[in-house]
Amino acid sequence: MSGDGGEQLGLYGQELTEGHALARQQLARHGKDRYPTVELQAAKVCAEAGELMDAVLHHHYAAHGGRCTSPCQHTIAASIRKELADTALALYTLAGKLNVNLIECMAELVWNDERDFRPPQRLIIRTGEGDDHGSGHTDRRPR
Ligand SMILES: [Zn+2]
């Protein structure tokens, strides 16, 4: 991990590790797992996601004397950064308790996700006789 000079350092000069490692580090520092079962950990994820939503809404509606314009031009508030981290760490910890690699789960989903939410492309079908507005080709170019 270190010593090869290629490690990426974060804000605090610490080597950046992936989520599972950080979640384990956090748990080790706490010295006690306050959410020892999968069910309690899943509830913790929801609680943290709720706090994240709260921080985002506070920023959007209250933090700057009115509505924040979208996309936001402000520095992301420390409270939002904290809740993002809490939520992600809780999720990584949950994945660990389920004995699955979260990144692997996400990769699996992304690589197999074939949904396409772009608007449908224009489709022109030549009707034949008397059709003088078109080359006879089906136009699948985006609008
Ligand atoms: Zn903003």
The rounded Å distance from CA 73 to ligand 1 centre is 5
pLDDT of residue 80: 92
pTM comes to: 0.72
When pLDDT is averaged across residues 64-91 and rounded to a whole number, the result is: 87
CATH superfamily of 19-112: MazG-like (1.10.287.1080)
pLDDT at residue 131 tops 70: no
The rounded Å distance from CA 89 to ligand 1 centre is 24
Confidence of residue 142 (pLDDT cuts 50, 70, 90): low
pLDDT of residue 41: 98
pLDDT of residue 22: 93
The rounded Å distance from CA 44 to ligand 1 centre is 27
CB environment 20-50: b (16+ within 10 A), e (fewer): bebbeeebeeeeeeebeeeeebbebbeebbe
Mean pLDDT for the chain overall: 84
Which has the higher per-residue pLDDT, 65 or 1? Answer: 65
Rounded (10°) angle between helices 102-112 and 19-30: 150
DSSP state of 9: B
The rounded Å distance from CA 130 to ligand 1 centre is 57
Domain map of the chain by residue range? 19-112
The rounded Å distance from CA 59 to ligand 1 centre is 6
The rounded Å distance from CA 84 to ligand 1 centre is 16
pLDDT of residue 11: 67
pLDDT of residue 134: 46
The rounded Å distance from CA 105 to ligand 1 centre is 32
- What span, in angstroms and rounded, lies between the C-alpha atoms of 50 and 59? 14
